[in-house]
Amino acid sequence: MYYEDLSAFEYTIRDAAPNLLNVGWLDAAHPYSQGSVPEEFLDRLFELCRNPVNRTRGWQECQFCEKPSFGVKVTKDGTELVLGSAEIRVAGENGLVYASPNLIYHYISSHRYRPPDVFIEAVLKSRLS
C-alpha cells in the first residue's frame, strides 16, 4: 500500500484527520529516499514497533526483499518482532501525528529507506511507555 510521505492519512476513514500524516508507506513501483539514520533513532523506532496500533488480520509483505514473506521477522537485542500487520503512531510538533506501517523498521534497517527529517526528530523526541 503506497502513500506519499507527509500526505494526509486516509487508510482508515475513522482515523482520517488533517493532522495525521503518512510516513513509510512504500511500494516497489515508487522511488523512495535513501540514506543513513542515527542508531538511536532505530532503537527508539524498534521500541515503538513493540506497541503498534491498528492491527490487521492480514499481512503486508515487503516488496523489496528478494524472497518476500508475509510477516517480516526482525530481532534487536534478543527481542523478536514480526512486522507487517499493524501501524505505529508518532506525535510530532504543532499537533501533527505520523502514521506508519510497522514495516517501516524493516524498510529502514534492511532497505536504507530514509524517512523525512520531521519524522526522525519526532521519533527521537517520543516518549516510550
Query: pLDDT under 50 in the chain at which residues?
Result: none
Domain that holds residue 43: 13-24+33-125
Return the pLDDT at 57.
80
What one-character-per-residue DSSP string does the chain give? ----TTSBP-SSGGG--TTEEE-----TTS---B----HHHHHHHHHHHTS-BS--SS-PBPTTSSS--BSEEEEETTEEEEESS-EEEEE-GGG-EEEEETTHHHHHHHH-B---HHHHHHHHHPPP-
Return the pLDDT at 59.
87
Q: Give me 73's grid cell.
A: 521477522
Return the pLDDT at 68.
72
Return the pLDDT at 103.
96
In a domain, 116, yes or no: yes
Return the pLDDT at 37.
98
In a domain, 3, yes or no: no
In a domain, 64, yes or no: yes
In a domain, 2, yes or no: no
Return the pLDDT at 15.
65
CA 90/CA 20 separation, integer angstroms: 10
In a domain, 100, yes or no: yes
Strand partners, 31: none
In a domain, 4, yes or no: no
Return the pLDDT at 11.
67
Total domains, the chain: 1
Return the pLDDT at 25.
96
Return the pLDDT at 18.
77
- What predicted TM-score, i.e. pTM, was given to this entire model? 0.92
